[in-house]
């Protein structure tokens, strides 16, 4: 039972390069999320998708785009990477509607921008 799977696990980019982080979940969840985790900042929401076909900005969306490809997959794209985007990126999913629905997280992608 894989849960939430993220690829790649590690990546090093040069400033200005583009990259897409992939996320897939096999729990038939409606909602999916992308976070970045930085020391002393906790987790900050970049974008989320409450349901298939919808996406919305979170707290720190600048420099990122997302695509909810289907119910299972939610990708995060950096069009022109900047050193400030060096971070650990986590994808998460949840059932969505209804009380007390927790989010389930992937293993994360460590991204370094040189």
Partner 1 sequence: AQRVTQPEKLLSVFKGAPVELKCNYSYSGSPELFWYVQYSRQRLQLLLRHISRESIKGFTADLNKGETSFHLKKPFAQEEDSAMYYCALRTQGGSEKLVFGKGTKLTVNP
Of the candidate residues 33, 34, 64, 89, the single one contacting partner 1 (CB under 8 A):
33
Closest CA to 34 of 111, 113, 98: 111
Site string for partner 1, 80-99 (x = CB under 8 A): ----------x-x-x-xx-x
CB 6 within 8 A of CB 55: no
Closest CB to partner 1 among residues 14, 40: 40
CB 94 within 8 A of CB 29: yes
Number of residues engaging partner 1 in binding (CB under 8 A):
29
- What is the H or E stretch that residue 32 is in? strand 31-38
* Look-up of token digits 């921008």: 113
Residues interacting with partner 1, by CB under 8 A?
Answer: 4, 31, 33, 35, 40-45, 48, 50, 56, 58, 90, 92, 94, 96-97, 99-108
């Amino acid at each position: 039972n894989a849960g939430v799977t993220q690829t790649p696990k590690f990546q090093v980019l040069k400033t200005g390069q583009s990259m897409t982080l992939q996320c897939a979940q096999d729990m038939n969840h409606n909602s999916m999320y992308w976070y970045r985790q930085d020391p002393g900042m906790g987790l900050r929401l970049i974008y989320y998708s409450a349901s298939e076909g919808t996406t919305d900005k979170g707290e720190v969306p600048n420099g990122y785009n997302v695509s909810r490809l289907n119910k299972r997959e939610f990708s995060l794209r950096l069009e022109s990477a900047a050193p400030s985007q060096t971070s650990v990126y986590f994808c998460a999913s949840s059932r969505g509607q209804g009380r007390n629905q927790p989010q389930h997280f992937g293993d994360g992608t460590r991204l370094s921008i040189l």
